[in-house]
Amino acid sequence: MVQYDKILILMGRTKCFNREEVLDRAIQVFWRQGFANTSLHDLEQATGVNKSGLYSEFKDKEDLFCQSIKRYKETNLVAEILTKQPLGYENVENFLKSSLNCSGEKGCYLANTMRELSFLPHQVKKLILENVASVAELLLMNLKAVSNRNDLDQFVSMILTFSTGISLKLNAMKPKEVEPEIDFFSKNFKKLILDEE
């Protein structure tokens, strides 16, 4: 049973709403349209909560976007994938393949936000870059478990660049169309990391 944590007066009547549900619906709008192209009206329509209701819970559109990113990070499986024991390259492979499970053909939510990074509000940009840094740290941890190379930071950057590119491709392509690229990258990247011939 849904636990409602807010009661708002909407359109002259009492209506309950769940913060997480509102964030999940907002994520879908931001995911599809981006931050800049999403209007307050779009968010009202998607969440079923009017302006006064949204602003009683979130300061403004920027805050709602920040909270939606935090919500996505909480419900995303990346941390779970990259902390699975034993640490190692299998976790990295599963991380790369996880982009194939992103919703529909929209790519990864956080990767998509990178396209707007140069003109996003400072607080939003800071949050996104912190998330990228946390993923990079987890990737590095897994690579260190299988390799003693002293340039693993550069390999992490390669993984993140490839992963972001694949996520953006998924805006226009089906997962089965990009899966061979992931398999090719994963197999050959492993040879580099492990110094295999």
- Domain segments of the chain as ranges: 6-59, 76-193
Q: Write the pLDDT tens digit of every residue in 144-155.
A: 999 999 999 999
Q: Looking at the DSSP assignment, which residues form a beta bridge with residue 14?
A: 9
Number of C-beta neighbours around residue 72 at 10 A: 19
* Tokens at 18, concatenated: 């769940």
Q: How far is CA 150 from CA 140, 143, 154, 155, 187, in A?
A: 11, 11, 9, 10, 21
pTM: 0.82
108, 162 in Cβ contact below 8 A?
no
How far, in Å, CA of 175 to CA of 142, rounded? 25
Q: Write the pLDDT tens digit of every residue in 173-197.
A: 888 999 999 999 999 999 998 876 5
CA 114 remoteness from chain centre:
10
CATH classification code of 6-59: 1.10.10.60
